[in-house]
Amino acid sequence: MKQILILALAFMVTGLSAQMETPKNWWDLDRTDDSFPGVSAKKAHDYLAGKTSQKVVVAVIDSGVDVEHEDLKDIIWTNPGEIAGNGIDDDNNGYVDDMHGWNFIGGKDGQNVNYENLEIVRLYNTYHKKYNNRNRDGLSKAEKAEYDAYKEYETIIDEKIESLAPTYAQYTAIMDGLEGIIKATGKKVEDVTAEDVAAIETKDMATTQIKGIIANQAAQGNSVADLHGELEGALNYFKSQVEFNYNKDFDARDIVGDNPGNLDDRNYGNNEVEGPDAGHGTHVAGIIAAVRDNNIGVNGVGGANVEIMSIRTVPNGDERDKDVANAIRYAVDNGASVINMSFGKGYSPYKKAVDAAMKYAEKNDVLLVHAAGNDGKMLTLTNNYPNDTYLGKKKTIKTYITVGASSASYDESLPASFSNYNKKMVDVFAPGRGIYSTTPGDEYESNSGTSMAAPMVAGIAALLRSYFPDLKAKQVREIILESAIPVNLQVTKPGSEETISFADLSATGGLANAYTAVKMAERTKGKKKKVAKRDEALKMY
């Protein structure tokens, strides 16, 4: 067991204890009133108290949503044209018994895709069938380009597996050691105390190191169960990478039973909108619309008249372009006015299909909100998909927002270290680090990612569309960007130790804010009225 892994694990858990000093609802708060740079949703809702609103549907294209969750069940969209469980497509939309949305990664027999390859592996496998055992010299110019890509993908995949496998084995050893300690106490993990662990006598160096970590974390208020949960999450990550994501021999699409290359096929899947792992989608849904002020859980940004439509599209691996395109079209056709897309990947072989679906959303006055990605790098048109620019063109989707992630610290660490950025391609930042929200089984936990930042903005968009129904999607987008609170700070650029102006990380150089967005929306009612400019927003604030 390498000391570097022990230190990494200790750092990971230490991060949890530091986060405990920040209130769980920090992202709902206001920097001026509450000292935390949240989206000021609480302030916005207090301001809107007594005002009328109308129902707004937000489609969550994600891993699935627990529609029975205690803090979400009252805000789940129900298809008014469908009769539950009768096996008939009552509303003739092509999807049988789609009561709360649809699952594009499920089979007609009720099975569901959980793990999937990454897109690079699928591309490799496609080219492997065509070019394996062929000589490059005899190929045409176009074929040589594909052959070169094939070999590049092969190198990337093999190197990744080679780097992951030892770490996976080492984390497995750490988990085995921790579970050995837990077993030695004779208790369940949730009942094991630091004192129980300290009482265990051992001469084994690895066990001694783990005992030291447990003692250190106990001093910071973290339990053995906390450590076990974090380690389990890390181990599951490495397992999914090695056994599924980068595994050339793994293929889950037979479960769906379709041809993923047939982009005209739209009527496949099933109505199981939760799926086998709805943790990510349920967390996102809670940020957008968990019931406010019900004395349980969390308060969603959107408010009482926002409903969540679950469209299961994102597996533990890369989503497929066909499914994303069909999910967007389903959302538009079934009444969503905001679509949250907390996913992304590095390759998009059928980008034109996704572009066409997003154009369809724009044409039908639907706002698309997308996470910028968690690579800690400069976002480009070729390293993260989907994006707002049509393939091979400069034309962009006008109802599209890309969101980076910020933290609870209004200092040099304000931008989350993992967040992607780009002064032109990322529109705005929003809370995305240490976000406490809903998870399946009436549970709650803190997660981090631009996946958490995007629903902050989707929630603001839903709030605006609910209280100001005359606003068009383009106006809502403009309001959210113009009302963002500028940040005048020198910060650590994500993914590096370089110092940079926060203003250089996104087009607005600011943080999305529900309160200033509401104040600006009040002056922007109606499709012909112009949106106020940033200086007016600051005066309102």
Active site residues: 62, 280, 451
* Amino acid (1-letter code) at residue 193: T
Per DSSP, what are the bridge partners of residue 400? 368
Secondary structure (3-state) at 215: helix
> Rounded CA gap, 388 and 381, in Å?
9
> Rounded CA gap, 187 and 191, in Å?
6
Max distance between CA atoms of the chain, in angstroms, equals 76
Contact in structure between 43 and 264 (CB atoms under 8 Å): no
Question: β-pairing, 101-103 with 56-62?
Answer: unpaired
Secondary structure (3-state) at 443: strand
CB under 8 Å to 379, separation ≥6 — which residues?
Answer: 372, 373, 402, 420, 421, 422, 425, 426
What stretch of H or E contains 508?
none
Q: Is 105 exposed, middle or buried (0-12, 13-18, 19+ CB in 10 A)?
A: buried
Task: Report H helices in 253-399.
Answer: 279-289, 321-333, 351-363
> Rounded CA gap, 452 and 8, in Å?
24
Structure-block tokens of residue 466: 């609910």
Measure Cα distances from 296 to 42, 217, 299, 443, 519 in Å. Answer: 16, 28, 9, 11, 29
